[in-house]
Amino acid sequence: MRYRKVLLCLVSVCLTTVVSAKTELPSNKSQFINLFNTKVGSYQLVSGEAKMCAGGQLAWLDANEPDLGFKLGDEIIFNNLHHGTQTNKVANFCLVTTKYKYTTQSITMSLRHTRCENETDNLDTSQTLRFISPTTLAYSVESSNVRCQFELQL
């Protein structure tokens, strides 16, 4: 009898957690492109540092080639969208590795510079653009104080 009560409590806790959790499911690049196309427009900064988070147009770098990437204003850029991980050797610089993670509400680009000729150029960071609501998006850079929120200008 005691075993059933414990099991019932555990099941209740699990169900409560699942029901109350905000679900952000994995996605793929083509699903993200479809989502992005519904969010294109002019965005104004609502909160965050204006230097790193200046508002502007959320748009593809080339509307005919979404694989080239997109930008928000002049400071926030996600370029060379791809699946998985890619590493390229940049002459006289570093090995540059990029990895994209697509979800139903966001995109995260991890960027790593390794084996740089100048040790100070080594880098390991990621940036995320998250669609919070139909008219709001957030941008953040991991391990920094860069956190910005933007509102679509209708």
> What's CA 4's distance to the chain center, in Å?
43
Q: Is the pLDDT of residue 27 over 80?
A: no
Which two three-digit tokens encode residue 17?
């957690």
Lowest mean pLDDT, pick from 12-16, 21-25, 57-61, 88-92: 12-16
* Model confidence pLDDT, tens digit, residues 45-83: 999 987 888 889 999 999 999 999 999 999 899 999 998
